[in-house]
Amino acid sequence: MRLGDIRVPAGATKKKKRVGRGPGSGHGKTSTRGQKGQKSRSGAGIRVGFEGGQMPLIRRIPKRGFTSKFKKIFQIVNLSQLTGFKENSVISPVELCKEGIIKDETTPVKILGDGEVSKPITIKAHAFSSGAAEKIKKAGGQTELISAKGGSASGGK
């Protein structure tokens, strides 16, 4: 059996509705668009959010706040998630991604102090909370800051 031999089961697909093919088709004349009006015209359509001339909802509701386009977005990893790593191991975003702790090794990682560290480990991340860095050093481990892409360090303690 080849890929080209595979067929769709009977009844799994429907024929496309062919409109504008005369009165015998059942979809002739106005082609299921009805009489007159904006949506019956060729090439016509209304934009998203248009409410027939009424003031659209997006313009009626109050606008609050501000979103900075320069905000740094981190993937958060708690110390409690790092218990599965061996003693004296070097943990970087690549290892965290392989273990399934983070989803993307290219997005910056921040280590937070929720949990305990019982063995010395070296952790490479883009940022550390002060509590996490303290706990890692207390256990005999090391913290290494990775600079973010674009040449600038992403901050954090």
Q: Which domains does the chain have, with CATH numbers?
A: 75-145 (3.100.10.10)
Average predicted confidence (pLDDT) for the chain: 89
Residue 44: its pLDDT value, please? 83
Helix (H) or strand (E) holding 135: helix 130-138
First to last CA, the chain: 60
Residue 147: its pLDDT value, please? 85
Residue 149: its pLDDT value, please? 63
Q: How far is it, in rounded angstroms, from Cα 144 to Cα 125?
A: 6
Q: Write out pLDDT tens, residues 60-71.
A: 999 999 999 999
Residue 38: its pLDDT value, please? 87
Name the pTM for this structure: 0.57
Q: Write out pLDDT tens, residues 99-144.
A: 999 999 899 999 999 999 999 999 999 999 999 999 999 999 999 9
Residue 154: its pLDDT value, please? 42
Residue 150: its pLDDT value, please? 43
pLDDT above 90 (res 45): no
pLDDT above 60 (res 156): no
Helix (H) or strand (E) holding 78: strand 75-78
